[in-house]
């Protein structure tokens, strides 16, 4: 990606959107909207000081909502171009309130609140669509309790937990445990605020709050206005302290998740949603289970699936190695339901098709291998490009020409065409680039 960003013949237009396209193969006229970042790309050094000082914190979609980011942010650390963007929806300055902290701390003078969207018109000979995919929403399968059980997460959410740059710095802390830790932090702040308020009363009356409260309860201070307020504030402080200590005692028992369940084909190979196999999910789950075992050797993983589709060179060997060296078990069977157990341990109820019995087992976390769904923006993009979609919502191609869309001169690669893994996507990208070159060479000869 760095090489692409530095190449003199490649123009990267990140944070841009295709609005319209006219013309024909060899001579397309494309209208592109370059959205306002409110940050000058040429001046921004990507140091991150602005994001550190920004007072606004919102949900971080790159970490799948498991962490927060500032209103000014970079999508991820290794992104190209290495610059920041201000989210106009949350920025105080852009919503008419006083702030501008990012502008004050930016030594490169890159912040520009007056920046506007720009329209760029291009003439191109060919187009390659590599628009990616979306993840199936597992809450559409209510029996898996995705949003009801905090420790039932998707494979992409688990991927971010495994990452050293993720919300837990690579530690497999259960979401339910993280919620308790966050609540303790909130109570700590409230306790400090209460202690500060109580300190004012203690200084004024030269008496510690604990002694005053005992005297107040025995009726020594009567119904004086200050006494009632002081007593109420001390009572509230005791409640905060009691709740905080209870949560701290509970948190002492927390440990990283070591007993994991992976459920395959969530949304795929399912006539209710997507009939196709998403292709990469089995190997993705095996990879995640192996990495989890590398993080913590005591980790045990169980992968539930109708079958394991390890289609690719060395994939079957990788699967076997995971079972032999990473404490992974493969259970053939469909998971019927996930229920809540004690201490937020999800209980998996499944049919073991080998023994033909129904079984249940509690795990620390359950990871759902969700289907590869067509991107939500792909329908709009296909309309702009005047290219057809197939019955599933991916760009339609011919079996004999797998990267050619229904419009001449427009090609596709990766999961915009169908579910596929990274090696296949890279291979198809090379094929799409070759087809685009053929169009350009033909156009040059004609002209």
Q: How long, in residues, is the chain?
A: 447
**Burial (CB count <10 Å: 0-12, 13-18, 19+), residue 399:** exposed
Average pLDDT over residues 42-64: 94
Q: Which residue has the higher pLDDT, 446 or 51?
A: 51
DSSP assigned state of 416: G
Distance of CA 104 to the CA centre of its chain: 30
Question: What pLDDT digit, counting tens, does each position of 416-438 carry?
Answer: 999 999 999 999 999 999 999 99
The pLDDT-based confidence of 222 (bands split at 50, 70, 90) is low
Average pLDDT over residues 250-254: 93
The pLDDT-based confidence of 445 (bands split at 50, 70, 90) is low
Q: Are 168 and 153 in contact (CB under 8 A)?
A: no
The Cα 93–Cα 113 span in angstroms is 8
The Cα 336–Cα 12 span in angstroms is 47
The Cα 347–Cα 339 span in angstroms is 5
Residue 284, pLDDT score? 96
Q: What is the pTM of this model?
A: 0.90
- Which residue, chain included where needed, has tokens 């830790």? 181
For the chain, percent of residues with pLDDT exceeding 90: 83
The pLDDT-based confidence of 218 (bands split at 50, 70, 90) is confident
The pLDDT-based confidence of 333 (bands split at 50, 70, 90) is confident
Q: Are 303 and 289 in contact (CB under 8 A)?
A: yes
For the chain, percent of residues with pLDDT exceeding 70: 98
Average pLDDT over residues 177-191: 95
Distance of CA 347 to the CA centre of its chain: 25
Residue 79, pLDDT score? 82
- Which residue, chain included where needed, has tokens 């497999």? 172
**Closest by alpha carbon to 308, among 297, 298, 294, 318?**
318
């Amino acid at each position: 990606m760095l090489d692409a960003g530095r190449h003199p013949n490649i123009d990267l237009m990140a944070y841009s959107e295709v609005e319209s396209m006219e013309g024909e193969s060899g001579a397309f006229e494309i209208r592109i909207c370059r959205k306002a970042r409110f940050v000058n790309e040429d001046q921004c050094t990507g140091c991150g000081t602005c994001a550190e000082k920004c007072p606004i914190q919102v949900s971080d979609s790159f970490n799948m909502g498991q962490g927060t980011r500032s209103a000014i942010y970079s999508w991820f650390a290794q992104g190209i171009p290495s610059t920041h963007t201000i989210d106009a929806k949350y920025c105080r300055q852009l919503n008419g309130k006083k702030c501008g902290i990012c502008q004050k701390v930016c030594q490169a003078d890159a912040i520009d609140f007056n920046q506007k969207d720009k329209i760029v018109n291009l003439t191109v000979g060919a187009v390659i669509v590599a628009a990616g995919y979306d993840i199936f929403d597992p809450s559409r399968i209510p029996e898996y309790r995705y949003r009801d059980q905090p420790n039932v997460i998707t494979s992409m959410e688990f991927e971010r937990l495994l990452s050293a740059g993720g919300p837990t710095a690579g530690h497999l802390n259960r979401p339910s445990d993280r919620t308790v830790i966050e609540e303790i932090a909130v109570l700590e702040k409230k306790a400090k605020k209460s202690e500060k308020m109580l300190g004012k009363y203690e200084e004024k009356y030269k008496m510690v709050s604990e002694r005053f409260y005992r005297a107040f309860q025995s009726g020594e201070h009567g119904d004086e206005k200050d006494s009632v307020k002081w007593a109420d504030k001390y009572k509230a402080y005791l409640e905060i302290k009691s709740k905080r200590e209870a949560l701290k005692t509970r948190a002492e028992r927390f440990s990283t998740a070591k007993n994991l369940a992976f459920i395959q084909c969530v949304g795929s190979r399912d006539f209710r949603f997507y009939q196709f196999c998403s292709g990469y999910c089995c190997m993705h789950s095996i990879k995640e289970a192996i990495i989890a075992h590398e993080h913590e050797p005591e980790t045990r993983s169980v992968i539930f699936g109708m079958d394991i589709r390890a289609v690719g060179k060395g994939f079957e060997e990788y699967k076997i190695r995971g079972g032999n060296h990473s404490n992974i078990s493969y259970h053939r069977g469909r998971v019927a339901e996930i229920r809540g157990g004690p201490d937020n341990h999800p209980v998996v109820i499944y049919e073991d098709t080998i023994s033909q019995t129904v079984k249940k087992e509690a795990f620390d976390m359950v990871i759902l291998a969700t289907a590869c769904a067509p991107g939500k923006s792909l329908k709009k993009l296909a309309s702009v490009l005047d290219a057809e979609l197939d019955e599933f919502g991916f760009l339609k191609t011919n079996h004999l020409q797998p990267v050619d869309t229904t419009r001449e001169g427009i090609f596709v690669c990766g999961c915009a065409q169908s579910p596929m893994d990274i090696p296949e996507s890279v291979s198809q990208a090379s094929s799409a680039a070759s087809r685009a070159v053929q169009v350009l060479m033909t156009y040059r000869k004609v002209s």
